[in-house]
Amino acid sequence: MRGLTRLMTGTWIVLWALLACQPAKDSVAPSEATPGVSDTEILLGSSLALQGHASFLGRQTFRGYQCYLEHVNAQGGIHGRTIRVIAYDDSYDPPQCLANTQRLIVEDQVFALFSYVGTPTTVKILPLVEEARIPLLGMFTGANALREPLNPYVINVRASYYQETGAAISRLVSELKLTKIAVFYQYDAFGFDGLTGMELALKQHNLAPVARGSYIRGTLDVGEGLHRIAASDAEAVVMIGTYEPCARFIRLAREQGFNPIFYTVSFVGAEELARRLESFQDVTVIMSQVVPPPEGPEDRDHLGTASEYITLLRRYFPEDRPNFVGFEGYINAKVLVEGLRRAGRDLTREGFIRAIESIQDFPLLPDITLSFGPDDHQGLDQVYFTRLVNGSFVLMKDWASIKEQVRSVGSEDLVVRDSHEDFQNGH
């Protein structure tokens, strides 16, 4: 297993996924009461982007959760059972995700669905989840459709996009005194959800977007959206998309002399966005996160779950650097395992959901705990803000330095005044 997971590139991904499901029928003999559970194994299913334009998000989610599950299995598993995940590639394509999920439920007979990536893909499978009454836990999406109305089989770990955009708009308007805010979004369920959250947040301040621009998922056709937004003289642009089109938008905007504050939600993918903007040092890019930085200026290596993630990632995927996406996948796996532990040896789907609902004040870091309940299927509510500094996203202490940027917007010789040292000093 470890050998295969380290070869998750190119066609190996597809081969691994196809091969992974074949032994399931031999090693797992699911009972009618509890599919995917044998005396020795718990079988889970995942559909995520392992290839294509969103593959960084899918692969890092996979590696984040897999390194923790490998660790748990090496210690004997949970109640004498090891945990195995069949991970199929959907390339961030909703119809493929739907087909993968049908296969996982009907053919592979998995116990639960785990760590899906993306709004348009995950929302597509909700009817299957409800029909099969199968738990769906730990999605890399903050979509409101997975939260309201409460679905008894859907367990979210991260904060929602509404929470991310709401917190960002509050800072942009209240602290930076901005009134001209535009939105650039992916034209699908993901983008619409972020757009709605942004509009609701602006409405609380008696504002509305000064411009809207969009692009089609899977393309880099950002020109028309950029033209509309630049013509509005927006002071800030809220971006609801993936790393490639968002990076292209920012690069083209800067080349054309349009230099607002750029804000993105967590799904964009911090590390890949930073890599694509490596040569652009005079832009202000802020990104909200739903987990704290696993390492960096805050030096969290020695603290709780972050330290575990870094240690196990180095052990099982030594070529990878710790990152926000992988850390979120790791936290998802921690919640999964805690739920399985609490559910006991007599494991059922309903019992697993009740076990998750019983989790209260579960420690992730010294200052971060996670809680669920029968009427609360979202474990975390925290939102963190990071800023692109010297090629990486650094945790922001406050927004004071951004005010300097606001006063400089529109200047031809714009200079970003703060530095990496400023962040370490709390500015």
Q: Is residue 39 part of a domain?
A: yes
Q: Is residue 390 part of a domain?
A: no
In 3D, which of 85, 74, 83, 60 has the Cα closest to residue 8? Answer: 60
Do both 173 and 234 map to the same domain? Answer: yes
Question: Domain containing 46: what range?
Answer: 2-158+299-370
Beta strands in 216-333 (DSSP E): 236-240, 261-264, 284-289
Do both 152 and 18 map to the same domain? Answer: yes
pLDDT digit string, tens, across residues 122-134 = 999 999 999 999 9
Please report, in tens digits, the pLDDT of each residue of the chain (427 residues total): 444 333 333 333 333 443 344 444 344 444 457 999 999 999 999 999 999 989 999 999 999 999 999 999 999 999 999 999 999 999 999 999 999 999 999 999 999 999 999 999 999 999 999 999 999 999 999 999 999 999 999 999 999 999 999 999 999 999 999 999 999 999 999 999 999 999 999 999 999 999 999 999 999 999 999 999 999 999 999 999 999 999 999 999 999 999 999 999 999 999 999 999 988 878 999 999 999 888 754 444 445 678 899 999 999 999 999 999 999 999 999 999 999 999 999 999 999 999 999 999 999 877 789 999 999 999 999 999 999 998 889 998 888 778 666 555 544 433 332 333 332 333 3
Q: Is residue 249 part of a domain?
A: yes
Do both 269 and 411 map to the same domain? Answer: yes
d(CA 285, CA 393): 9
Do both 260 and 312 map to the same domain? Answer: no
Do both 253 and 308 map to the same domain? Answer: no
3-state secondary structure 142-196: CCHHHCCCCCCCEEECCCCHHHHHHHHHHHHHHHCCCCCEEEEEECCHHHHHHHH
Contact 153, 134 (CB under 8 A): yes
The DSSP symbol for 105 reads: I
Do both 272 and 413 map to the same domain? Answer: yes
pLDDT digit string, tens, across residues 176-222 = 999 999 999 999 999 999 999 999 999 999 999 999 999 999 999 99
Do both 83 and 25 map to the same domain? Answer: yes
d(CA 78, CA 338): 9
Do both 402 and 275 map to the same domain? Answer: yes
Do both 334 and 274 map to the same domain? Answer: no
d(CA 257, CA 411): 9
How many domains in the chain? 2
Do both 76 and 150 map to the same domain? Answer: yes
CATH number at residue 281: 3.40.50.2300
Do both 246 and 334 map to the same domain? Answer: no
In 3D, which of 404, 408, 400 has the Cα closest to residue 427? Answer: 400
Q: What is the pTM of this model?
A: 0.85
Q: Is residue 129 part of a domain?
A: yes
